[in-house]
A and B are shown apart, each in its own frame.
Chain A
Amino acid sequence: MRQVAIIGVGMTRFGEHWDKGFRDLVTEAGLNALKDAGLSGNEISAGYVGTMAPGSLIGQEHAGALIADYMGLNPVPITRVEGACASGALALRQGIMAVASGIHDIVVIGGVEKMNDLGTAAVSRILGGAGDQEWELFLGATFPGLYALMAKRHMHEYGTTEEMLASAAVKNHKHGAKNPYAQFQKEITMETVLNSKMVADPLKMFDCSPITDGAAALVLAPVETAESYSKKPIELLATDQATDTLALHDRSSLTGIKAAEIASKAAYKKTGLGPKDIQVAEVHDCFTIAEIMAIEDLGFFKKGEGGKATLEGRTTFGGDVVINTSGGLKAAGHPVGATGVKQAVEITWQLRGEAEGRQVKDVEVGLTHNVGGSGATAVVHLYRRL
């Protein structure tokens, strides 16, 4: 099996792109990634794109063919990959496996979602498809509701407070304020979060990630040729994916995402690395409680101590590990299928020392953590400078 590296990255700004459609966003990100890798496009032998719900959001299926066409890549095979909010990291994982196996050499990875062509109620219904439609959503659950059920249980078992949850949003907005690609480049206060409108108790508007349009892309190559394309190739050390029950209520515990814990443990075992070796991580904070659970599931903090650690500033610059330098899903935005690829782009910039204004010092190893639904899919990747 060959080792795989990232040789180029690119993205669109995340936000409300009224003037751009699905194909405009994905081609913009794709071109940025090809430019970064110094490729003309002729070198590409395959592509994988993560997108959750274009069929429902814009009535467009067959996204792989659309993208191959508008990227001018025909007849290169491009395949759509779907795993709800983890679609992006799953596309990256398919690409890694294609290059590692030797079937393809230069592979382009995209992640995209165009969400603002519909209203909030319709988008919420569509995103609900990431959960169990018949046994959760139909009976009155919503996505904020499912994460609220986890938050309430976390509070019950570990004494996590609403202030601890809010501190994750405050921290992510502080980071996002330094990211020119973020949807919200504005700091907020604890009071803003705590006084915002209740969505699903205890989660308020500012505990939730927004509805976002955007795309991200990157290019993979075998490690042995990566340096002929990029001065600073980034090696993918591990790609691990795990699943759990589709419905939240069927899980043995509601205070963590077990699939993420399993995927990260597999990645650590394979590489001989552990949470202490990681300086920077992009984690899936679709809601503030999700970030608290993520930093526990990934082993950065003990179970039940994630909230306290976040409130104490241990997950920002100068802390034990810097979580979500991009602003996370909360401030950078969450164009669902693009998120997993954006996380890899941000970690690449961090490892290359190119994250201007938000660069973590002395970065050796980075991690990304992308979750689908309420935790039925989790994908963890580890990265290091080549």
Chain B
Amino acid sequence: MKGSIALHWRRIPERYRLEGTHCETCDSYYFPARRICRKCRRKGRIVPYKFSGKGRIYSLTEIHSAPEGLEDQIPYVLAVVELEEGARCTAQIVDVRKKDIKIGDGVEMVFRVVQREDPEGLISYGFKFRKLH
């Protein structure tokens, strides 16, 4: 995702601080933020919610063939993380080798560089996760 700075800037609350939403009607948690509850639709009462950043590995893989912008990071562990509030997200798992992490392991959010466009281009920051010991 190259190009516009605004495209990255408008996602700062979610990417830097895991700010999503919570539906007070059905107690569902959403990350990233959603304005319409998937269960209650228009009857949902959606309020902002900052996630704790703690969660568990729901599924994981190791990426060997990287997309543009992440070539310098391969191989890296990529996971679906189930946050403790119940929402799930896709994220890289850092500071660990594939053989040392498995489905069910506890993880916590860390703040890292996500992508660099090129040596003189935009550096994008955001969340990744690391294993809890």
Contact = CB atoms under 8 A, between A and B. Distances in A.
Contacts of B70: 140
Chain B: interface secondary structure? strand
Contact of B63 (A128, A145, A151, A250): A145
A139 B73 CA distance: 12
15 contacts: A121-B68, A136-B90, A138-B124, A140-B73, A142-B63, A145-B61, A149-B78, A199-B65, A201-B61, A201-B64, A202-B61, A203-B61, A248-B90, A250-B88, A254-B58
A203 B78 CA distance: 14
Interface of A: 121-122, 124-125, 128, 133-142, 144-145, 148-153, 156, 197-203, 245, 247-250, 254
A137 B88 CA distance: 15
Interface string B75-87: 0101110000000
Nearest to B89: A249
B92 interface: yes
A140 B64 contact: no
Nearest to A156: B103
Q: Categorize the interface residue count of chain B.
A: 20 to 34
Chain A: interface secondary structure? helix
B67 A137 contact: yes
Contacts of B115: 138
B76 A140 contact: yes
Nearest to A245: B38
B59 interface: yes
B61 A200 contact: yes
A138 B15 CA distance: 11
Contacts of A128: 67
A44 to B, nearest CB: 41
A134 B63 contact: no
Contact of B114 (A125, A138, A148, A245): A138
A137 B65 contact: no
Nearest to B71: A121
A200 B65 contact: yes
A304 to B, nearest CB: 16
Interface-centre pick from B32, B60, B80 (highest chain A CB count, 10 A)? B80
A133 B64 CA distance: 19
Contacts of A200: 61-65, 78
Nearest to B80: A249
Interface-centre pick from B11, B73, B90 (highest chain A CB count, 10 A)? B90
Given A149-B60, A254-B58, A122 B66 contact: no
A135 B1 CA distance: 11
A254 B79 CA distance: 12
B12 interface: no
A249 B68 contact: no
B1 A141 contact: no
A139 B63 contact: no
B83 to A, nearest CB: 10
Contacts of B89: 135, 249
Contacts of B76: 140
Contact of A134 (B32, B58, B73, B98): B32
Contacts of B1: 133-134, 137-138
Nearest to B34: A250
A25 to B, nearest CB: 26
Contacts of A150: 59
B126 interface: yes
A201 B124 CA distance: 26
Contacts of B61: 145, 148-149, 151-152, 200-203
Interface string B1-38: 10000000001000000000000000000001000001
A125 B65 contact: no
A206 B60 CA distance: 20
Contact of B90 (A135, A144, A202, A203): A135
Nearest to A198: B64
Contacts of A249: 58, 80, 88-90
A152 B59 contact: yes
Nearest to A202: B61
A122 B60 contact: no
A134 B11 contact: yes
A243 B80 CA distance: 21
